[in-house]
A = this chain, B = another copy of it.
Amino acid sequence: VTPYEVIHRKRDGAELPAAELRAFLEGYGRGEVADYQMSAFLMAVFFRGLAQEELGAWTRGMLESGEVLDLSDIPGAKVDKHSTGGVGDKVSLCLAPLVAACGVRVPMISGRGLGHTGGTLDKLESIPGFRVDLSIAEYRKLVREVGACLIGQTATLAPADKRLYALRDVTATIECIPLIASSIMSKKLAEGIDALVLDVKVGSGAFMKREADARILAQTMIDIGTHFGRRVTALLTDMDQPLGRAVGNALEVEEAVAVLRGEGPTDVTEVTFALGAEMLVLGGAAGTAEAARSKLEEAVRAGTALAKLEEIVSRQGGDARVVRDGARLPRARLQHEVRARSAGFICAIDSEAVGLAGVALGAGRQRVDSAIDPAVGFELLKKIGDKAMVGEPLVRIHANDEARLPDIERRLAAAYALGPTAPRRRPLVLERLSE
């Protein structure tokens, strides 16, 4: 079967045998399938989708294009969490130490900010000295000794996915559920995990704006997990407004610390606990979600979660004093408040716009090679359902460059919609899906 035939048949809606998909992907790795053939194929997949068996074969092809870690020599269950990305989503920073403190190991390979969303690696790097580029050997050692380790994707894990992702990024084939699901799962399966909890974000700050799409994405990833004999649970969680109050790297680290101290915003705490409970159950550290939740609450109360964060930071080369002393984190020079021009209830926050304002401020990258300013970002002083008087502050901007303020202020003011009545409260956890 030639590359041409593979493209042609997918284009016409055929279901391709696993061996053909595998050969196509391997041919791409060897340069026998050209970039222009792969991009035409990916666009055909955008329109035709991938059936269950195809999805398994495609994911396996990407997974086995590189090293597949085996952590089975490390005792106990290894459970990771993956978020599809949002604005103000610092949950990984809370969750890894919290779950590790409860006895379930968390081998976590995270990403950078993408588009309007933030990335765990960027947030961690706002901690002075923190290293996310550990070797696989160091990673194994920390998962064993500390119980959690947070690093970036190495060149050896799922390299085919890395190349395909870059191609999709410039050929408008990112927003395709089977391609998103197989990309995420190939990386996660390469980590050496036993089970996985997915946080599939839905709403204005998520890549999936509609709950129906998020549900299909979650189910697709669960199906892939099943195909590979891994237990996967997914929560669909609200991303119609930024999670918590902090948006921006150092600001989010500070808020994550607050969560572990039991003083964080309700929404971040709630999402952290809901995901953590799933991880403890999957990892066998609790029999029920209720028992798991008690364990998590106890880890916060007793301070073991906070101590675990200090241990992680210190073992990954960071200044662990930031955990007790937030002033050691980078701070922006300027603070500026965006004020309400009319009175009313906050009805909606365009969270993608907030995220993009953060990128414009320097909290994210405008280009692949842009530098990030770890100190800048926003504090959301009003969130959906809050009442604002005229002139009351909505958002506090933390900036280092005064010249950027007018544009950022304009963007944030436009992102807030005020109305005469409070909107109906939306639940934080919209839905739970499992195998």
Contacts and interface: CB of A to CB of B under 8 A. Distances in A.
Interface of A: 3-4, 7-8, 11, 34-40, 42-44, 46-47, 167, 170-173
A60 B35 CA distance: 27
A220 to B, nearest CB: 20
17 contacts: A7-B172, A11-B173, A34-B36, A36-B36, A36-B39, A36-B167, A37-B170, A39-B40, A40-B40, A40-B43, A40-B171, A40-B172, A40-B173, A43-B43, A44-B46, A44-B172, A47-B47
Contacts of A44: 43, 46, 172
A170 B11 contact: no
Q: Is the interface of A mostly helix, strand, loop or mixed?
A: helix
A7 B172 CA distance: 6
Contacts of A42: 40
Contact of A172 (B11, B47, B172, B173): B11
A172 to B, nearest CB: 4
Most buried by B among A36, A39, A40, A42: A40
A268 to B, nearest CB: 33
Contacts of A43: 11, 39-40, 43-44, 47
A36 B168 CA distance: 10
- Residue from A8, A42, A167, A171 whose CB has the most chain B CB atoms within 10 Å: A171
Contacts of A37: 39, 170-171
B36 A4 contact: no
B34 A34 contact: no
Contacts of A36: 34-36, 38-39, 167, 170-171
Nearest to A6: B172
Contacts of A35: 34-36
A42 B35 CA distance: 14
The 6 A-B residue pairs with the shortest CB-CB distance in the complex, in nearest-first order:
A43-B43, A8-B172, A40-B171, A7-B172, A35-B36, A36-B39
